[in-house]
Structure 1
Amino acid sequence: MNRLNDKGFTLIEMMIVMVIISMLLLIAVPSVTKNKSVASSKGCEATVKLIQTQVRAYELENSVLPTDLETLKTAEYIDTTTCPDGGSLVYDETNGKVTSN
């Protein structure tokens, strides 16, 4: 039986492919996890800016700063009082400034 005409991969060829795939994963996985943390922090920054804008909108409509973030939520200016990554937001009622922890 002549096996020279059989189509397929040898064990060495399969091992080479596996090594190449492993090296690509070693490069890609750290980049993806780093990008996730960067995106999460940017999401919190965007939330702070959005809520800060809503504080000003509330102030323009009511001629007074909101007493806290829950006031904005109750009045349906905002949907949440936390960052997308679960971090908390801090509101200073004296000047209407919103920051993240």
Structure 2
Amino acid sequence: MNPTRPVRYTRRGFSLLELSLVLAIVGVLMAVAAYNFMGAGERAKVRATKATLGTIKNILQTYQVDHSVFPPDLQTLVVSKYLEDKKIKDGFEQPLYYAPVGREGRPYELLSSGPDAKFQTADDIDVWTMDR
């Protein structure tokens, strides 16, 4: 009769250090992914704002060719059927600023207040400088 021997497992589990290291790496990867994901929405709104400004710039040029002057305000473009009313807001759902007389030799001013929704701050998006 053979006495029963205790079965020895040769396979070891993961040590606490190994598990902690893997969890730390996963945590760092999750933080990087969350950071990139959170900024993606704002970048998309900036791109949408730039597209809107570019569209309105083209419409302003068309209006100027048709009427020999730039419109006094953006609402004139809506009334004249050059532009839909909803296009007068930027990607952040803020109204755009338009002035028919520009500065620095520009024919007009057209800009968005940017992500902070305040004009005359560093994040303003100007139609004349947005592609620089």
User: What TM-score comes out, normalization by structure 1 length?
Assistant: 0.68
Structure 1 position 47 matched with structure 2 position 52: yes
Structure 2 unmatched ranges of 5 or more: 1-18, 102-106, 114-132
Per-residue Cα deviation, 1:19-72 (whole angstroms, up to 9, x for no partner):
587665433222111111111112112211211111110011122211100001
Select which of 39, 64, 77 maps to 2:69.
64
CA contact (8 A) 1:59 1:66 kept: yes
Identity %: 23
Query: Larger relative contact order (C-alpha < 8 A, sep ≥ 6)?
Result: 1
Does residue 96 (structure 1) correspond to residue 108 (structure 2)? The answer is yes
Aligned ranges 1:5-84 → 2 under 5 Å: 24-79=29-84, 80-84=87-91
| Residue identity opposite 1:59 in structure 2 | Q
Q: Which deviations, in whole Å up to 9, do the C-alpha atoms of 1:53-96 show, x marking residues without a partner?
A: 11110011122211100001112222221102112211111233
Higher Cα Rg, which structure: 2
Q: Secondary structure at the match of 2:88?
A: coil
Asked whether the 8 Å contact 1:52–1:97 carries over to 2, the reply is no
Given that residues 55 and 65 in structure 1 are in contact (C-alpha distance below 8 angstroms), is that contact kept between their aligned partners in structure 2? Answer: yes
**Structure that is richer in helix per residue:** 1
When normalised by structure 2's length, the TM-score is 0.54
The answer to whether the Cα contact below 8 Å between 1:55 and 1:96 also exists between their aligned partners in 2 is: no
Count the aligned residue pairs: 87
CA-based RMSD: 2.4
Q: Find the aligned partners of 1:54 and 1:87 in 2 and give their Cα distance.
A: 19
